[in-house]
Structure 1
Amino acid sequence: MHISAKADYAVRALLELAREPARPLTCETIASCQQIPFRFLKSVVGELRRAGLVRSQRGCEGGYWLGRPADEITLLDVVRAVDGEVIMLRGENLSALDYPGPATGLPGVWRRIEADAVSVLAGVTVAALLPAGTPAREPAAEGAV
């Protein structure tokens, strides 16, 4: 099994946004707090923005906010936003996988593993990962700074 750096960095970035409710955060701040390479994080945050998991505002008062409440963002949402599929085999989706002969049952095992991973990821929200006592960040109103 492989968890991508993109998925790990994306969740960590969302956790930083979720724990800082008073102001937007810049990629520089998130990268520094989580020790994530800045250039890589910029790309990851762009994917999160396109998926609606974060939103941004330009300018000196700008930065990033959660696109939805932290308790409505699951790890499955994050993985799908940055990686697409949860589990791939040699770059292919598991749904079309078919083997001949004695290996006929193997694709079903891979699909069960994927289903279990999807279940776990769908059952964990960003809010659930915040340390105890950390307020879950509510998305700021559109245009708010």
Structure 2
Amino acid sequence: MKIKLSMIYAARMMGYFTKSGEPLIKCEELVKAAKCSYQYSLKILNMLKNGGMIVSEQGCKGGYRAARNAEEISVYDIVKIFEVEDNRCETRGMSQELYDDPFHIYLKNDMEIQMERWKFVKLKDLYSKSEM
């Protein structure tokens, strides 16, 4: 797994939902919270929307809202959105011999264990004390 900038920016945006307490947040606020460019934030917001994390409200008083209780969003929820594509391609071009290699099996199993742990780490706990 690669730690991607987009994952960190997405976590910052979702962390902002937990801190703000506002049901609807303007895109500009999320861009400021994530500290990334407006164009890049639109890409991330689209991925969060497609991943079922947020819902967009159109109109002059529109913005984004968490699709579920923002305080229950975990590290796992963010990672799975950005890792799905990588996991699908994980074994592309890999021979069966390498796929069955004990080192590969160990890393794959260890990553699955770590992903399970991340389900219990909530963004609200990570971002509650940070300055956004």
Spell out structure 1 runs of 4+ moving beyond 4 A.
Answer: none
Determine which of 109, 112, 125 is the counterpart of 1:115. Answer: 112
CA distance in structure 1 between the partners assigned to 2:113 and 2:79 by the alignment: 14
Q: Which protein has the bigger helix share?
A: 2
Asked if structure 2 preserves the Cα contact closer than 8 Å seen for 1:17 and 1:64, the reply is no
Deviation at 1:130, TM superposition (A): 3.1
Equivalent pair of 1:57/1:63 in contact (CA under 8 Å): yes
Partner Cα separation in structure 1 for residue 108 and residue 83 of structure 2? 17
Moved more, 24-33 or 49-58: 24-33
2:90 matched residue in structure 1? 92
8 Å CA contact 1:53, 1:68 repeated in 2: yes
Q: Deviations over 1:42-86 (max 9, x none)?
A: 11111111222111111121111111112332211111123316x
User: Could you tell me how far apart the structure 2 residues matched to 1:104 and 1:52 are?
Assistant: 35
1-side partners of 2:104 and 2:67: how far apart? 36
CA distance in structure 2 between the aligned counterparts of 1:104 and 1:83, rounded to whole angstroms: 22
Residue 69 (1) aligns with residue 69 (2): yes
Does the residue aligned with 1:61 lie in a helix, a strand or coil?
coil
Equivalent position of 1:135 in the other structure: none
Paired amino acid for 1:74 = S
**Residue 124 of structure 2 aligns with which residue?**
127
Unaligned segments of structure 1, at least 5 residues: 133-145
* Cα offset, 1:88, TM superposition: 4.7
Structure 2 length normalisation: TM-score? 0.79
- What SS does the aligned partner of 1:76 have? helix
Q: Is the 8 A contact 2:13 2:33 kept in 1?
A: no
Matched AA of 2:84: G
Deviation at 1:28, TM superposition (A): 1.8
Aligned residues: 127
What is the TM-score with the length of structure 1 in the denominator?
0.73
* C-alpha deviation, 1:104, in angstroms: 2.6
1:26 match = 26
